[in-house]
Amino acid sequence: MTKVSLRRLAIWMFAALLGSIATGAAACPLGPGGAGRFSPRPDVAPVDVHVPAGWTGARPAPLVILLHGSTGTGAQMLQSSGLAETADRHGFLLAYPDGGIAAKSGFVWNIPGVPTVEGTVPGPGDRDDVAYLTGLIDALAAAGCVDPRRVYVTGLSGGGRMVSWLGCVVPERFAAIAPVVGLRAGNPLASDPTRPDPATCQPRTPVAVMAFAGDKDTTNPIEGGGAGYWQYTMHAAEQRWAQLDGCTVVPTTRWVSPGIYEERYADCRGDSEVVARVSVGRGHEWVVDNEALWAFLSRHRRP
């Protein structure tokens, strides 16, 4: 984000704060229940937000940001994930933005230095999606819509890799992250692609991680390989996040339901934890029990 953009955002947030002081409370501009649109800044296109049924905006709500897969759209991701119904049951706001780089079909996310599925490396003229998403959080919090201690992000495939990248570079902005068929812990190490490169993921603070995958995924295989940005196994990514979070207990594996097993790392710094659920026989898709996802996310809060 440029200095000019940052200045505009600061002015916009200060104006929103003054407005909330004048009225005694921030008035969230999102209407009660259903689909809403929110403008993070005057110079940024509005973001679609699902407002949970029964929420009036009288008090800040938890926020889940849902990131679509490569060449998808936020609207498509909202429908295929089924998370709107989960938001209605549990009362969280659900933002579903589009990626910052237009593709031949839909959009892709800007992970610096990593080629998109179309083979191009994001350049300086492409939108900074980290700044865009953190700016969205700031603006929603300044408008009185969102509790900044309860902000979460999940996403599918390329969106899951973007979620992982957010955990690497701005973990302090999220109480928990949940990549779906897209867990990474930095880029593959150039000298040994079967391992994550520690230099490419150095979070400043622990963050809770819950990942989902299917063991028949041939796009982002849990056993590694695939595209150049994939290579190392999902298990290696889990181990790296457990190391980053300072987890001290030997991981456990258990069956949580027929066809779904879970690997868990506990006793981690800052009340974080690392959990991975694998669905047997499932592929590159939304392999998520949404109730289990929300149960995990909602038990984590930022100090």
Please report the domains of the chain, with CATH numbers, ordered by start residue.
Answer: 3-180 (3.40.50.1820)
Give the per-residue pLDDT at 26: 55
Instruction: Give the HSE-up count for residue 126: Cα atoms under 13 Å, Cβ half-sphere.
Output: 21
In 26-82, where does DSSP find H-type helix?
74-81
Q: What is the pLDDT of residue 46?
A: 85
Using 50 as the pLDDT threshold, list the residues of the chain that sit under it.
1-25
pTM equals 0.89
How far is the C-alpha of 98 from the C-alpha of 185, rounded, in Å?
Answer: 23
CB 150 within 8 A of CB 173: no
What count of Cα atoms within 13 Å lies in the side-chain half-sphere of residue 211?
A: 34
Q: Which candidate, 203, 183, 207, places its Cα nearest to that of 288? A: 183
pLDDT, tens digit (0-9, with 9 covering 90-100), for 286-302: 999 999 999 999 999 99
CA quadruple 258, 81, 211, 106: dihedral positive or negative?
positive
DSSP, collapsed to helix, strand or coil, labels residue 17 as helix
CB 188 within 8 A of CB 155: no
Question: Which H/E stretch holds residue 241?
Answer: helix 234-244
Q: Which residues pair with 64 in a beta bridge?
A: 94, 152
CA dist 178 and 182 (Å) reads 9
Environment class of 255 (CB within 10 Å of its CB; exposed 0-12, middle 13-18, buried 19+):
exposed
The 8-class DSSP code of residue 137 comes to H
Supply the pLDDT for residue 31. 76
